[in-house]
Chain A
Amino acid sequence: MKTITQHLRGAAVALALAAPLAASAADVTLLNVSYDPTRELYQDFNAAFSKYWKAKTGDNVTIKTSHGGSGKQGRAIIDGLEADVATLALAYDIDALYEKGKLIPKDWQKRLPHNSSPYTSTIVFLVRKGNPKNIKDWDDIARPGISVVTPNPKTSGGARWNYLAAWAYGQRKFNNDEGKTRDFIGKILKNVPVLDSGARGATTTFVERGIGDVLLAWENEAFLAQKELGPDKFEIVVPSLSILAEPPVTVVDKVVNKRGTRAVADAYLQYLYTEEGQEIAAKNYYRPTLESVAKKYEKNFPKLNLVTVDSEFGGWQKAQKTHFADGGTFDQIYLK
């Protein structure tokens, strides 16, 4: 009868024999679950990373992407969508992967530079050519008769950035009078004829369906719309104040551990911070965080007064609870 030691020895020999076979395994797939407007960014980035990874390791990596409203995408991961990496619109949606699914560690945001946000963006206005309704700032979109297109903050990360940017403007305009700020936000929401679930859907509503006078949009999405459809159709209006949007990224630890894809998933996200990754982000109208690349593309991005979620709202956890949780200010104002 074989002893346990003999069995273990046999297993070790089998593993040693199998190791060269495993080492020659060359096809890897990753799933990047992202938010709505990053389609073009990750299409370019995935191709560049695959090339880089092939050159570095000899492995073929195929990256699949899934796009949708950021909150919705986060919930899909918690519900079992096997994302190797999550690249969502805001930190709260990634926090939920820890809070509700224990899929990542609590301190996930400390694992990569810039609080795990390799690129930033902000919120601007996209208006029709000639700006026929003369929209210049947040006051203008609260005017009666202005039709405003923005997605639903319950499902869209972009919409939450829009909402908070408008709120920050209102607080300043009305000297932190919350009642007046609520009225101001109420006037804007009253001008919204349709709530899409994600930022890309809102762009479709405004650009392709011809609805509304102004689209509250990610800066990158506004530039992209202008590029795709021509500057003769749309103009970008930069408000006097907006918000610094920091879309974060993370490896989904439980998934990569299960699938054995941690090394390539880590490398994928780290590659976003390299010069090439930052160049791709900048070319897709995301603001790069790498100094050298940011300087190179600074002309492309208008300078404006930006608040942050941390300084203005006490971080995403607090902002979410105050404004977007069930019964928060959005519900109170929109459902009134």
Chain B
Amino acid sequence: MQFKINKITSALVASGLLLATHSAFAGDPDIEALRQTILDLDQKIKVLERKNEIAAEEAAAKKKETPVVVAGPTGFGIKSADGQFEYSLKGLIQLDYRHFDKPDHTTSADDGFTARRIRPTFQGTLFGKYDFRITPEFGETANNNATTSPSQNISRVIDAYVDARFDPAFKIRAGKFKPFVGLERLQGGGDIKFIERSYVSNNFLPNRGLGASIYGDVLDSKVSYAVGVFNGTADGGEETTRIDADNDKDYTARIFTTPFKGSDSVLEGLGFGIAGTYTDSATGALPSYKAPSQQLNFFTYNTGTVGDGSRVRVSPQAYYYYGPFGVIAEYARTSQEVRNAANTVNDTLKNDAWQIAASWVLTGEDASFKSVKPKNPFETGKDGWGAWELVARYQENSIDSSAFGTATTGVAARFANPTTSAKEAKTWGVGVNWYLNQWVRLATNYEQTKFDGGAGTFANIRDREDERILFSRLQFQF
């Protein structure tokens, strides 16, 4: 309407009609009044248009400065208009039910519910290139992998680090974080295919370290590398945020390649690499190795046995994803120099573990290193059933046979007691994952473990009872 009046007025002015009228009817008060009214109206319209113009300019300028609030599938957050600053809240909650077929090993192997992971995560970006992440853990266990009860609940900060992304090929991470070593360990706690990780992750390679890494992606992001230095932790252990117990450091290195990334080859989803750690310590803490339930230590060193000298871990690793099919394979060997409690015997023990796990998404979604994102989320009253995935895994954990005392040498002459610690654990497992949507997942696993030794007497060393476990999990991840 305003536009039309303005156009008419402008046309009248432009055509000289008003001026002509002014000349022809000069002195006619009605015409003069009409002319003035039109001019006043013209001014009013121009003012309104200008106000709108200014309001639009101000709105556009404000939009450039207004932070963007995000509440969606990837969590909740706020981002500055220029994208240089970002803060977000994410979370992972896992509620498990554990059922043991024969809960006869330890009191901590009882059936029951447990909150395995309760992890809110605060993360963000500062100045476009500095990222930070803080994740407290209010869930079940202290992952120190030591002889203390594995089900001990210790609320703590599990991740607290800063990343400086100077270049895709040169990034620095410092703080408490997952060292760039284990393949399955580098999968998010909400992305792993089984309810618990394998022996390789839980018993051998470091879980969390306190230190710094330089890392990056090179050669068109087909090769990633990382080197790091950490206070150091026992096999499968998680460092605390306290000061280091000794002056010796763990050095880590990893190189991983995805040579067919970005191609249309059937090998596009292939990745493989190798990682390792090295330390040399006269007072190194030694681990206990857990059964898949994470509630039972099936191998523990004799009290007083310590790491004395170098510890080298080597871990070749690979994954392959093709359509709905995925497989991950990982091996780890720890060569650890140890000394017995009496300080009379030194030796180098070579313990190792490996796993191979396969997954198949029945509903056709692509498998990947991350969680499955259902094409048709489950909703009551609608057709979608989410995504269903079958998983199977075989894994082994072997202890160097020279670790154990014998009836002839006695327990104290070596480093472990074969009547209480098993020499080997072999586990197979199957499971099903139901991804209701990208945030909610139900999972059930059955795993059965056979042990070699770990019970009886020196005269008659027997195998420990098999561990048969049925785990179920309800997971929320956003």
Binds B, one of A13-21, A25-33, A192-200: A192-200
The answer to whether A209 touches B50 (Cβ under 8 A) is: yes
The answer to whether B54 touches A197 (Cβ under 8 A) is: yes
Give Cα A193–Cα B43 distance, bound, in whole angstroms. Answer: 10
The answer to whether A194 touches B43 (Cβ under 8 A) is: no
Contact with A along B21-62 (1 / 0, CB 8 A): 000000000000000000000010011011101100010000
How many residue pairs link A and B with beta carbons under 8 A? The number is: 22
**Dominant secondary structure at the B interface:** helix
Residue in A194, A197, A201 whose Cβ sees the most chain B Cβ within 10 Å: A194
A82–chain B nearest beta-carbon distance, Å = 12
Give Cα A201–Cα B50 distance, bound, in whole angstroms. Answer: 10
Nearest CB in chain A to that of B45: its residue:
A211
Find residues 410-446 in chain B having any chain A CB closer than 8 Å to their own CB.
Answer: none
Give Cα A194–Cα B50 distance, bound, in whole angstroms. Answer: 8
Q: Is A314 an interface residue (CB 8 A)?
A: no
Give Cα A210–Cα B47 distance, bound, in whole angstroms. Answer: 9
Give Cα A212–Cα B54 distance, bound, in whole angstroms. Answer: 16
Contacts of A181 in B (CB 8 A): none
Contacts of A284 in B (CB 8 A): none
The answer to whether B43 touches A211 (Cβ under 8 A) is: yes
Contacts of A147 in B (CB 8 A): 43
Give Cα A147–Cα B39 distance, bound, in whole angstroms. Answer: 13
**Dominant secondary structure at the A interface:** loop
Contacts of B46 in A (CB 8 A): 209-211
Contact with B along A146-184 (1 / 0, CB 8 A): 010000000000000000000000000000000000000
The answer to whether A211 touches B58 (Cβ under 8 A) is: no
Q: Is A116 an interface residue (CB 8 A)?
A: no
Give Cα A209–Cα B50 distance, bound, in whole angstroms. Answer: 7
Q: Is A278 an interface residue (CB 8 A)?
A: no
Contacts of B47 in A (CB 8 A): 193-194, 211
Give Cα A230–Cα B5 distance, bound, in whole angstroms. Answer: 29
Contacts of B51 in A (CB 8 A): 194
The answer to whether A205 touches B50 (Cβ under 8 A) is: yes
Contacts of B50 in A (CB 8 A): 194, 205, 209, 211
Nearest CB in chain B to that of A209: its residue:
B50
A198–chain B nearest beta-carbon distance, Å = 10
Give Cα A196–Cα B50 distance, bound, in whole angstroms. Answer: 9
Contacts of B49 in A (CB 8 A): 209
Give Cα A194–Cα B43 distance, bound, in whole angstroms. Answer: 11
Give Cα A194–Cα B47 distance, bound, in whole angstroms. Answer: 7
Give Cα A55–Cα B155 distance, bound, in whole angstroms. Answer: 66
Contact with B along A194-233 (1 / 0, CB 8 A): 1011000100010001111000000000000000000000
Extra inter-chain contacts (9) besides given A193-B43, A209-B49, CB under 8 Å? A147-B43, A194-B47, A194-B54, A209-B46, A209-B50, A211-B43, A211-B46, A211-B50, A212-B43
List 7 tightest A-B contacts by C-beta distance, closest first.
Answer: A193-B47, A211-B46, A209-B50, A194-B50, A205-B50, A194-B51, A194-B47
15 A–B pairs (Cβ distance < 8 Å), ordered by A: A147-B43, A193-B43, A193-B47, A194-B47, A196-B54, A197-B58, A201-B54, A209-B46, A209-B49, A209-B50, A209-B53, A210-B46, A211-B43, A211-B46, A212-B43
